[in-house]
């Protein structure tokens, strides 16, 4: 659509235009029901159908079988930092973390705040998180190993997931790369993701739990913080984020139409390489901030020769309808977030803009 900008925001982020148009079409009167999805009781037959369809599509797109529970919860991925630790750490079992950036650190800190034993199995903070640590050292009795598959702020992404012994459940915060490529889901005992980057709007967090770890759930937790509550009531213990869940369903339909995760992954690779190639061919004008082998296909982080040029770059890009290129406030620089719904055309435009900018603004 003509007056829309290319939105490089790290999240909430761009949604597929087809999805927005469908939402618009059905906003006031959903499929002749005489009301908006927003206005439906979460216990109504009509909404239940939307909910069930969303769960079914998530399973189909992501390749989940009956071994997984699919939950849609409020509270953001940040609440999952706490819930994972509360629900799976017992007095003699420690939460293990791979610290690869700010979000991973928050997950670790939250476990400690909850009074749980938390152990750092690996960290890359020795080099300001510009790579992914490969060697792990577990605590004596791990409750789980927690990784952040894509580090939204630093711009790293696991291409190969850590190998863990069978008895240690692997947990993952996939907030910023969920469904960006096909993965072997079975490796993961628990996956969570805030929807607002790759699969929908802010307000809903998807949690996938492999059923074989349910016997490890801790009893007697506060109701809303217990996975048991939400599993037993199929995410309907209280009012779930009904409208965001409906949009997640539409995004799943869009992924299916695109050809599924294989097709999405190919497009994502092509989009990212347009920008990384521009960085690598700039003679050092643009500098990637992380080790090449660990580069994220979702969040491309880079620097310019100085902060003045960075500010100019970001503001000239914004004037040319490319918004959200400022790096996270904790690290500075530039960041192009190019999730599933970000159009190829926008990455081409950015690559061209980068080349022009370099020509016009020598270091």
Which positions are catalytic? 103, 173, 197
Instruction: Report the relative pairing of strands 190-194 and 205-210 from DSSP bridges.
Output: antiparallel
Is 158 one of the binding residues for ligand PMP (CB under 6 A)? no
Is 242 one of the binding residues for ligand PMP (CB under 6 A)? no
Among positions 63, 74, 76, 182, the unique one binding ligand PMP when judged by CB under 6 A: 76
Is 152 one of the binding residues for ligand PMP (CB under 6 A)? yes
Is 77 one of the binding residues for ligand PMP (CB under 6 A)? yes
Is 100 one of the binding residues for ligand PMP (CB under 6 A)? no
**CB of residue 282 to ligand PMP, shortest distance in Å:** 27
**CB of residue 308 to ligand PMP, shortest distance in Å:** 27
CA distance 220 to 277: 53
C-beta closer to ligand PMP: residue 278 or 340? 340
Among positions 47, 62, 72, 103, the unique one binding ligand PMP when judged by CB under 6 A: 103
Tokens of 85: 């630790």
169-188 binders of ligand PMP (CB under 6 A): 173, 175-176
Residue with the CB atom nearest ligand PMP in the bound state: 76
Stretch that binds ligand PMP, among 48-56, 76-84, 278-286, 314-322 (CB under 6 A): 76-84
CA distance 236 to 190: 20
Among positions 96, 148, 289, 358, the unique one binding ligand PMP when judged by CB under 6 A: 148
Among positions 78, 123, 139, 141, the unique one binding ligand PMP when judged by CB under 6 A: 78
Stretch that binds ligand PMP, among 45-53, 75-83, 92-100, 211-219 (CB under 6 A): 75-83
CA distance 258 to 240: 28
**CB of residue 339 to ligand PMP, shortest distance in Å:** 11
Handedness of CA 10, 322, 286, 282 (dihedral sign): positive
Chain positions contacting ligand PMP, by CB under 6 A: 11, 76-78, 103, 148, 152, 173, 175-176, 194
């Amino acid at each position: 659509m003509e007056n829309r900008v290319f939105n490089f925001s790290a999240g909430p982020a761009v949604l597929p235009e087809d999805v927005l148009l469908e939402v618009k079409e059905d906003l006031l009167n959903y499929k002749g029901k005489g009301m908006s999805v927003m206005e439906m009781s979460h216990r109504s037959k009509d909404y239940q159908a939307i909910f069930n369809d969303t769960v079914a599509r998530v399973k189909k797109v992501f390749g989940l079988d009956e071994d997984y529970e699919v939950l849609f919860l409020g509270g953001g991925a940040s609440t999952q930092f706490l819930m994972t630790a509360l629900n799976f750490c017992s007095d003699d079992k420690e939460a293990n973390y791979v610290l690869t950036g700010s979000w991973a650190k928050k997950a670790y800190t939250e476990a400690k705040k909850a009074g749980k034993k938390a152990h750092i199995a690996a960290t890359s903070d020795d080099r300001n998180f510009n790579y992914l640590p490969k060697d792990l050292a577990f605590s004596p009795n791990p409750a789980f190993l927690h990784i952040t598959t894509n580090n939204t702020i630093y711009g790293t992404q696991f291409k190969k997931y850590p190998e863990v012994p069978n008895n240690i459940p692997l947990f993952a915060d996939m907030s910023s790369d969920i469904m960006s490529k096909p993965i072997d889901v079975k490796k993961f005992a628990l996956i969570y993701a805030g929807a607002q980057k790759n699969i929908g709007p802010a307000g809903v967090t998807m949690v996938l739990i492999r059923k074989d770890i349910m016997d490890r759930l801790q009893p007697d937790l506060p109701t809303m913080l217990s996975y048991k509550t939400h599993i037993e009531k199929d995410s309907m213990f209280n009012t779930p984020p009904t409208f965001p869940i409906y949009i997640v369903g539409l995004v799943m339909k869009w992924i299916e139409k695109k050809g599924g995760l294989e097709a999405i992954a190919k497009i994502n690779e092509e989009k990212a390489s347009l920008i990384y190639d521009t960085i690598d061919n700039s003679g050092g004008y643009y500098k990637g901030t992380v080790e090449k082998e660990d580069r994220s296909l979702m969040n491309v982080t880079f620097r310019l020769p100085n902060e003045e040029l960075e500010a100019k770059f970001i503001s000239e890009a914004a004037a040319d309808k490319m918004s959200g290129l400022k790096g996270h406030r904790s690290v500075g620089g530039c960041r192009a977030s190019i999730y599933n719904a970000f159009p190829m055309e926008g990455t081409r435009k950015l690559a061209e803009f980068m080349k022009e900018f370099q020509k016009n603004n020598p270091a």
